[in-house]
Structure 1
């Protein structure tokens, strides 16, 4: 759907969600946009990038934003196209929420009056709010990680904790990668347009870059902490596994003694002690228990029972 969301003195904002084939033709023939730029803007898997077509007077910005899919947190690209003094935003269902953010961004930047604001200034102010969502999400992931750490010593939750940490780690990797790409793209945008932008517009893009850099640092630190906690839990699991293997080894050695004793007496060899005695069965049991006790004592002295 193509929707005119904002129409002010300096630009018109067209918001396009779930672009259809007919609407694409409309953008090409009525709005004079190029098929190539539209293709980049609506691609679900497009990487963060800046794309220019100076001949067609088009500048495309593809940027990753936070998306909630149920309990899952992902990052998805949106396309922002500056063309012919207007701005076009391209989204899909998961990212369509950005329209509300761009209309009413909750941030510390002061916008110019509606009859003075430029398309670039308007978009940058909204992107600032979208980048703040990264900080909020990283903070939420840190809270979940602390909750997992509270049950760190409860063995019955060990497997669940490891799975939860792996899930948080995966989310953080996606966030970290998106932030790094967004930062590179914003740096490139500022460098390419610094001679064309006004001072307050450069300040706005610098504010966004600072916010992205802060979020990136938080993501790096959060990922390091998650990795450290995950490694510690892995070491605990390995320690428990080693202890289990040691116990099984001790049991296997101790339980070898009855097999040896019964093997000797089961061969019907003459002249074995107590082999002909009526109470020989009980004597072999006593011999077996004594030997098992000696083996256990030797294992204990050697440290096999130390965890």
Structure 2
């Protein structure tokens, strides 16, 4: 599906889905045009080469959609690949969606195989006001990137909530059943930090005096988005540390529980040791054994064994070993 938004001073914002008007729109240097290709058909993908004359390698990256976030510089345009994210709570992971962007002197082209929330948010904003498109393609790019980075915040909030739940259950349930959850949740955090770091480098370059296609007055806006991504990477790193601490707490609880079991078994073994010794002595096949010929010998021996057991339990209790 193709959506074409165009703005010219005095005409305002117009929207069309007719790709035949693109050559005329691009020739008008006083007009800003945004072309969004969502789940494009092969005929719509051909426009990247036939109308815009983009580099084949950039088009290949768009079609395959497997490239990491990056920014490439061509003669008359910039090519960016960024990634939006969405948390999958059931899998304790997040899905990333590639968004390919071409920034030219008077146009912006976005290409994506799946719906991207930041693109939809930009369209909603355009429906309310044409101010975004009237300020140029570079400002429109900033708006899309700003929405994309803002969408990381719900992901971070949900991650914080899940980690808090894990930490609470470690304490309240002695950590039962959370080890798998901790290990599953640790995997996406380095990937989130890596993706955010790549995009942080993109925003850092856009905020400097490196690209003529970005107006000097807009670089501070890109710097603001860059600061947001710095916060994302910092939070991802802190969540990684929190999960590591949660894992250590879980292992400490397991070890403590194992120590309690071993202590209890040791107490029982220690109590049974003298009783076993007495039983072994009286189990020997000798004729002369103390109390062996006495009619109350069994009861006295049993009483001695009970007294030893009680005495040892009292001693262990006073020493606070049990």
Structure 1 CA distance, aligned partners of 2:266 and 2:257?
Answer: 14
Q: 2:200 aligns with which of 183, 186, 203?
A: 183
The match for 1:123 among 125, 135, 141 is: 141
Q: 1:274 aligns with which of 278, 284, 291?
A: 291
Instruction: Give the alignment's TM-score, normalised by structure 2.
Output: 0.74
Report the CA distance between 1:118 and its aligned residue: 2.0
Note the alpha carbon deviations across 1:48-71, whole angstroms, 9 max, x for none.
Answer: 2112333xx442212222224464
RMSD: 3.4
SS at match of 1:104: helix
Shift of 1:6: 1.8
The corresponding residue for 1:135 is: 153
- For each residue in 1:82-101, what CA deviation from the matched residue of structure 2 results, as whole angstroms up to 9, or x when unmatched? 357533223233x5333212
Provide the rounded CA distance (Å) in 1 between the counterparts of 2:251 and 2:78.
Answer: 48
Give the match's secondary structure for 2:84: strand
List gaps (5 residues or longer) in structure 1. none
The answer as to 2:234 corresponding to 1:235 is no
Q: Take 2:132 and 2:7, find their aligned partners in 1: how far apart are those partners?
A: 10
> Which secondary structure state, in structure 1, belongs to the residue aligned with residue 289 of structure 2?
coil
Secondary structure of 1:12's counterpart equals strand
Distance in 2, matches of 1:277 and 1:11, equals 114
Q: Is the 8 A contact 1:58 1:81 kept in 2?
A: yes
Measure the CA separation in 1 of the matches of 2:66 and 2:288.
Answer: 85
1:203 partnered with 2:206: no
Counterpart CA distance in 2 for 1:202 and 1:111 is: 21
- TM-score, normalization: structure 1? 0.78
Match of 1:252 in 2: 269
Are 1:175 and 1:219, in contact at CA under 8 Å, matched by a contact in 2? Answer: yes
CA shift for structure 1 position 17: 3.3
In structure 1, what is the Cα distance between the partners aligned to 2:78 and 2:211? 14
**What's the counterpart of residue 98 of structure 1?**
118
Corresponding residue of 1:6 = 5
From 4, 16, 20, give the equivalent of 2:37: 16
Deviation for aligned residue 1:104:
3.0
> Is this contact kept in 2: 1:64–1:178, CA < 8 A?
yes
The residue correspondences of 1:75-86 to structure 2 (distance < 5 A) are 75-76=95-96, 77-82=98-103, 85-86=106-107
1:60–1:300 CA distance, 2 compared to 1 (3 A): same
